[in-house]
């Protein structure tokens, strides 16, 4: 068991290294002079040189990489060009809203997608299956900001049920916290829900065609027992894998959602950094989110053994 975990940890580490290399190379692959572009059109050559030095671009590639990795291992993600604060500090200050949004979105998506997918698979070919499939296609075809503005217009402006935008910290009360999270979580979650519904449906359809389901029916088991006790556990592995790979979508979508709803989280931080061309912040955010993604998928990989006793590791 330990050996299995270590082996997986090893391949995860390789991915982490690859991510670090890609992120590092990004700035160097840009055609033209990255320092000049970051400095902006109105910069003087002194400004450009200053930027070049603070980003360490004036040194040989290998040295840069070495220094950069060294700093990373110490938890130093760089210094913001704009605010001169460590990127790590900036991120940590904004982690509560983003994490809340991410978890709320995840809960919403999973809690709605699983029953819908199971229902669609059970009633495959009938009108309810088609309706669910159409709903899913619409949900992941419309961009998050359209869904978001639509929901805001309806629930916040028109019916005045929910706040238009903003974030309320949990320290100030649970109810406002929840209300402020509903619309953003639904806007972001609908996309994720659609993908998960489709995946659940197709996996369940496959599982329901297996011989052991026929055996279960021949035993006289009712439909619910067959779906939940016999079929779902077999469908778990692909479904959970989809949840894992959906994290990347979630992280990307958080940026857009925080912009739409003016939530002061890491996404907003990124957008401000983009406007200011504050590259170290962008780089830091990419590193953190990629590592988070890799970590979550590592844990999901370990969890497979809970669902399928045949999997050794």
Q: Is 5 in the site for another protein (CB under 8 A)?
A: no
Determine the 3-state secondary structure of 245 from DSSP.
helix
Out of 13, 61, 67, 308, the only residue in the binding site for another protein (CB under 8 A) is 308
Binding segment for another protein (CB under 8 A), chosen from 49-57, 79-87, 95-103, 241-249, is: 241-249
Residue 172 CB, nearest distance to another protein (Å)? Answer: 25
Closest CA to 109 of 199, 201, 189: 189
Residue 255 CB, nearest distance to another protein (Å)? Answer: 6
Q: Is 7 in the site for another protein (CB under 8 A)?
A: no
Q: Is 122 in the site for another protein (CB under 8 A)?
A: no
Question: What count of other Cβ atoms lies within 10 Å of the Cβ of residue 66?
Answer: 12
* DSSP single-letter state for residue 28: T
Q: Is 58 in the site for another protein (CB under 8 A)?
A: no
Residue 278 backbone phi and psi in degrees, to 5: -90, 80
Residue 137 CB, nearest distance to another protein (Å)? Answer: 6
User: For the chain, what's the residue count?
Assistant: 313
Q: Which of residues 135-174 bind another protein (CB under 8 A)?
A: 137-138, 140-146, 149, 152-153, 157
Q: Is 87 in the site for another protein (CB under 8 A)?
A: no
* DSSP single-letter state for residue 172: G
Element of type H or E holding 18: helix 2-26
Contacts with 298 (C-beta within 8 Å, 6 or more apart), sequence order: 8, 9, 12
Residue 260 CB, nearest distance to another protein (Å)? Answer: 8
Binding segment for another protein (CB under 8 A), chosen from 67-75, 92-100, 104-112, 214-222, is: 214-222
Structure tokens at 230: 């016999």
Residue 18 CB, nearest distance to another protein (Å)? Answer: 3
Residue 153 backbone phi and psi in degrees, to 5: -60, -45
């Amino acid at each position: 068991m330990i050996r299995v975990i270590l082996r997986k940890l090893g391949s995860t580490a390789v991915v982490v290294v690859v991510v670090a290399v890609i992120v590092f190379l990004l700035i160097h692959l840009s055609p033209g002079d990255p320092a000049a572009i970051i400095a902006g059109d109105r910069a003087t050559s002194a400004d450009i040189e200053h930027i070049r030095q603070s980003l360490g671009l004036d040194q040989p590639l290998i040295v840069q990489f070495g220094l950069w990795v060294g700093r990373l291992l110490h938890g130093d993600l760089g210094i913001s060009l704009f605010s001169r604060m460590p990127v790590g500090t900036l991120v940590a200050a904004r982690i509560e809203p983003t994490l809340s949004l991410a978890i709320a979105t995840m809960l919403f998506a999973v809690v709605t997608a699983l029953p819908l997918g199971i229902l669609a698979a059970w009633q495959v070919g009938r009108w309810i299956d088609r309706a669910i499939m159409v709903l899913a296609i619409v949900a992941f075809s419309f961009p998050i900001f359209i869904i978001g503005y639509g929901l805001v217009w309806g629930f916040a402006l028109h019916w005045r049920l929910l706040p238009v935008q903003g974030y309320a910290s949990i320290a100030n009360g649970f109810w406002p916290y929840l209300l402020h999270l509903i619309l953003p979580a639904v806007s972001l979650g609908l996309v994720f829900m659609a993908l998960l519904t489709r995946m659940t449906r197709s996996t369940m359809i496959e599982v329901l065609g297996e011989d052991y389901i026929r055996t279960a029916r021949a035993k006289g088991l009712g439909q619910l027992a067959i779906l939940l006790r016999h079929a779902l556990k077999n469908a778990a592995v692909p479904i959970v894998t989809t949840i894992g790979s959906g994290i990347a979508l979630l992280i990307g979508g958080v940026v857009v959602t925080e912009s739409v709803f003016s939530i002061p989280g890491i996404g907003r931080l990124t957008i401000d950094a983009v406007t200011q061309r504050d590259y170290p912040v962008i780089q830091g955010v990419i590193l953190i989110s990629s590592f988070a993604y890799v970590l979550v998928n590592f844990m999901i990989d370990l969890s497979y053994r809970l669902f399928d006793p045949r999997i050794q590791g």
